[in-house]
Structure formats: structure tokens, C-alpha cells
Structure 1
Amino acid sequence: MSTCNLNVNGSAVSAEIQPRTHLADFLREKLNLTGTHLGCEHGVCGACTLLVDGVPTRSCITFALACQQAEVTTIEGLDDDEITRELRAAFTREHGLQCGYCTPGMVVSARDVVLRMQDPSERDIRVAMSGNLCRCTGYVGIVRAIQGVIADRRGRGIAAIPNGNRTRLGPSGSGNATAVTAAAARPKTTAAPTAIKAEAPAAAATSLRDTSWKPQTTFTQSFTVGHPVDDVWNFFSDIGAVAACLPGASLAGEPVDGHVDGQIKIKVGPISAEFQGIADVTRDDATRTGTIVGAGKDKRSNSSTRGLIGYAVKPGDVENQTRVDLSIGFTLSGALAQFSRSGLIQDVAGRIIAVFVQNLETRLSHRSGGGEGEPAMVREFDAGALMRSLALDYMRRALRWLLRQS
């Protein structure tokens, strides 16, 4: 993790992030500035355009750490900007927006055109705006809106600023880099390369105890089961039984001193992954709390994950009822990392926990009833039902939002 220091919309901000974190993700996930939209995530569509040191920048392909100490202005920071206010009115007047998804990036780029082009032709405007794509309007209203603002400002005697006050060369934000001494710039001497060996499970387990690691995404959840707190706490000491309640999870062998090797399979619609990994489990009988620290890798997508689950077992609100509080943090990298920012992973985790609780109730009831053999439990997801449930949830949220706006 590295410390990222920026000045965003006039306020100094600082946060611990991974070096691979893009500026758009930093703004949306750390600062909740969701006016910066993510579209193609390849720097093509322009929906993520914002200003870095006054220069329009594709934030989806710009590393946040590459902009250390830079002045970042998002669409939220342009609320009181004179040119932006005129563009908003012109876009409304000329029907320059429909669904609105491209509009934040479109307005930022249009503002730059108004600021630096004195008397552009329609073709000049279209070329200047060609890095911002719109699937709705056909661009006619957008071009007219920009033409109208330019004509109005020039008519009021407000001239364009040559090059938009751009005085720096190089990537956006690079003008804030500190000087590097010759000694620091000199390449370090390295030893001859050695063959890379697979990390032994024991060594990997030791690396899990690295206290400097911080999860990228965290959330909390609680559930209750209708069984005494002592029965639930004792059940959690049986790692194999707990794993059996988790859909898609299986152990590669018997746990040794709180260390276990295993795998978990996840399949939701077109998303399929099988993470092979390790975990360390610790428990505190005095406080009835525990932690599970794990790491795994999916060979098919070359994606890796690392997670930390903390749990606390407490008496419930009624007799013979137990409440379990969970704190879940994880980091996902590789091809599947794109799904972690959308909230899909959290939805999937919530539904995994729901199935886990159902299986836990079944197993505890089976034990308390003196049953023999394995009880019938849910071993995997109904992926189709999960996707339908997610779609219905999002539709309900959208409907509630629309009702609040009316």
C-alpha cells in the first residue's frame, strides 16, 4: 500500500491505496465522487474525463499515485464554474443529453474547447470532442450547445486563452513530481537471476500474518441462529464442519495448528472461478471471537484474492438464540478485479452467507437431535436464481430513487 496525496476540488485528501489503483477508482471508492463515470475503462469513451492541473484527463487509465500533489477537479468541483454553468444551460436548451451517462466527461471536454478555442468551426469542435462518445444524441445538440456558448462569450468580449493556460509537458500530474538525484536515478546492481520456486504452503501461511496488509473493500454483516451460544461457538472450532456449510468450499486435508489448505468454487452466470488457497484460523475462547485470514488464486483467470474475516459470537435477543457479527475485508486482483468495484462481490458474499446460515442451522439441528451421518445441505448456488435476485434488487432501488425524485 502507498499513500496518495491529492488536492481534490480544492480540498487536500490523503489515503492508503494500492499502486495499481486508477484515479477514477480512487475518487469513486475512497471519496464517493461518483460523478466521474466509468465506461470502457480503456481510455476510449471519455466518460471518466476530469481535470488534472487544469488539463482534461482520462481518469480510468491514469494511476492515482502518478498524480501526487496534483490539483484534481471532478464534475462535482465545477458546480460554480462560469463556463460549466453556461454549458449546462446550453446542453439543456439544445437537447445535448439524453441518458446522461457521458455528460460529466462531455461537459469537462466541452469546457476545455470553450476555454481555449477562439472561433472554431463545427468540424473543429467535432474533432476536439471526438474523444468523448455518446450513444444517444447523435452529437448534433452537443455541438450546437458548444457553438452557442462560444458565440455568446465571444460576443461579451471574453476571448479564448491560448492553449488553455497549459504550460507543462508530459502526462497529467507529472509536473508535481519531485526532483530525482543522480544517485537515486542510477540503476541498482542486482544479483544474477535465480530460478523461481513455488512458495511452500508453510511460507505462504507465514506471509498471511503480514500486519501491514489492508483490504481494498470491507463490509459488515450479522446473522442469528436458533441455538445456544455455547453450541455455536463450539461448532466454529470444527474447521471441517464450518467449511462443509460454506457452499463451494472444500478442504485439501485436515487442519494443522489452525492452518488449512483448500479451495472455493464460485459460479454466478458467466463468472466462474476456483480459488486454490490457504488460510490461518485463530480463536479466543474468552471473548468468543475469531479471525480467518486467507489467500488464493484462480488459475483460469490468473486472479488472486486475499481476505480477512473477523467474527464474534454473542447471545441473541431471546433465549437459546445466538448472534454472529461478521467483519469481511478483501482485495481482488487480476481479471476478476473489475467485478469488485460494482458491488457484485458484496452481493454474492451476502448470498453465500445466507446459504451458510441455512446450512449451519441444518447441521446444528442435526447434532442436537442426535442424528447420524451427514444432513442434507445446500452445496452450491442456484446461479440463475441469484442473478434474477440481483436484477430485481437493482430494479427496486431504481424505482425507489425515481419515486423520491418525483
Structure 2
Amino acid sequence: MSTITLTVNRRAVQASAEPRISLADFIREKLDLTGTHLGCEHGVCGACTVLLDGMPARSCITYAVACEGADVTTIEGLDEDDVTIELRAAFTREHALQCGYCTPGMLVSARDLVRRLPDADERRIRAGLSGNLCRCTGYVGIVRAVQSVIEARRNRQIAPEPDGGRKILGPVGSGRGVRAASDLGEHLRQAKHGETLPEAAASVGEIPDFTPATVLEQSFIVSHPPGQVFAMFDDVAAVAACLPGASLTAPPTPQRIEGAIRVKIGPIAATFLGAAGVERNPDHLSGRIIGIGNDRRSRSSTQGEIRYRLVPIDGSAATRVDLSIGYTLTGMLAQVGRPGLVRDLAARLIAEFAVNLDRRMSGKSIGDAVAAPAADLNGMSLVFGVLRARVARWFGRS
């Protein structure tokens, strides 16, 4: 039995829950909010739809314990919601309900459509409601009701909200309510002004050594002498600014870095907070960075190391940077961390880093060539680039 804390209909709730209990059973049996109905209990019919952190979600296939810290809104919590009030009146006017069993989930989904759709397009409304099944009405009245509310609101110059007001997209039940977007933004703002993040600093004490599960070998060339490149690598803040998605969460020391790296792959968004130790060997122009980090939303952890060696080329006018990247990844994100894909993504990431590094050492602005380094590392753009490269190689072989 676990004790979970969450917000339900703007009220803080703390209650015990077995690990196997669904969110639907939890809010019905523990909180007596029986407006959420159970139909198929397989996530198909949509009768159990609630708002989880502002997103319509199937509560029958979402574990209650996975919603620790989340914000849940049931049909009872929408009694004073202006969109839902209009929809209820429209459902009555258009005869859009008969037995009414599907109606609570239908209203939650319809509310999301009213907020998002720019106009009352019947095809898009039917597609948006396709996850809510009704055995009585034939859907004609339901579609007309949703259309009428959208038309009325647009005629009153009420503009649609991009993504229905969502701040972050992520898998339902991912636990992202534990750290809301506003909280994360505030933490990152504090870090930018030199304040420390307690989670990042306190949660990682001594950084343990480890044997990587996967090791990748990469290299790139910088058009500057090895001595200058080695000195640049000593400026941790400057190096972090060249790496997409990376940021410091506390002022660095010669032996320790505390920071974050943000990764986004489709609907999965992760922010790894952690710390790393730094080792440097000026005699051999080499070094090692070993770190550990955790993403609370996906409950994923990673250990990693980067070994680098600077090799003079072109009569020491330029430098080849040889990298050995080792890592171990556990948790949900390990499911998408296949070595082949990670190897290709690492090559693309290192290529971006090399361009940024070369431009910074040349005194040029990084933003002139690529996206601002503070932006998230967008895995989807890298994936598409990898796929394009692979397709080109396949056609080249044929």
C-alpha cells in the first residue's frame, strides 16, 4: 500500500492506494467522485476520461500511484467551467444524450475540442471524439452540440488556445505533475542567476565510478591549435553553451559541475539533473568527465563518462578531438535508448557541438549558425536527420 498526494478538483488529497489500483477506481472509491464512469476498462470507450494536468486522459488505464503530484479534474470539478456550462446546454438543446452513461467523458473530450479547434469543422470534431463511444445517439446531436458551442465562442471573438492551454506534452501518468512547468522554469531562472538548485546539488554527493554498458567512439576537427582548444575545455560554462540542451545549475568549480540537460523525443520530454567530476591532464592534452543524473518525470537515471584526447593535425594549426563516450541508462527512457540509434544521434549532436565550439573560439556568435543553445535537444529533428542519412546510404549501396 502506498500513500499518494495529488490535487483533485482544486483540493489537495492524500490517501493510501494499492499499486495496482487505477485512477478511475481511486477517485470513485476513495473520493466518492462517481461522475467518472467505467465502461470497457481497457481505455477504448472513453467513459472514464478525466483531465490529468490539463490533458484528457483515460483514468481506467492510468495507475493512481503514477499520478503522484499531478492535478486531476473530474466532471464534478467542471461544474463552474464556462466551456462545460455551454456544452451542457448545447447537449440538452441538440438532444445529444440519452442514457447519459458516456456523457461525462464525452463532455471532457468535447471541452478540449472547443478550446483547441479554430472552427467548427465536422470532420475534425468527429475525429476528436472518435475515442468516446456512445451506444445511444448516433453522434449526430453530439457533433451538432460541439459545433454550435465552437461557432458561438468564435463569433464572440474568443480565440482558440494553442494545444488547449497545455504547457508540456508527455505520456499520461508520467508523473510530470511532480515538477510542474512553472516550477522547472523558476528553478532554471534561479540557476541562470547563479543560485543553486537544491535537488541537483543535494541529491548527488560523491560521484561513483562505473563500467559503462555502452561505449561510443567519435571524433571531430576544430580549426584551432590544441593548446587553445584545451584551454577552452577548461571554461565549463562556455563548453556547456555550445552543447544543445545543456545548462549549468550552479557555478562550476575546477573539479565539479552541477547542471541539467534537456532532451525531447516526440512526446517524451526529460530533464536530467545531476553532477559531474572533471579530470584533466595537461601533459597529454586529455581529460575525463564522469557524471550521474536523474529525470524525475520519467524516473530514469543515467551514468556517463566522456574521455577526450586532443591530437594536433596540419602542423598543430588544427586539432582532432577524439572522444570515447560511455553511458548506462535505466528507467523508461532506456526503452528508446537503442545503441544503434544513440550512436547516430550522438554523431549529429557532436557535429552541432563542434560547429558551435569552432564559432565560439573564432569570436563569432553561435546563434548566427544554429538554434540558440539554451533550447532543448530536440531528438525528433535528429532522428529525422539520421533516417535521411540512412536512406541515402541504402540507395547509395543499391
Considering only CA atoms, is the larger Rg found in Structure 1 or Structure 2? 1
TM-score range, shorter chain: 0.3 to 0.5
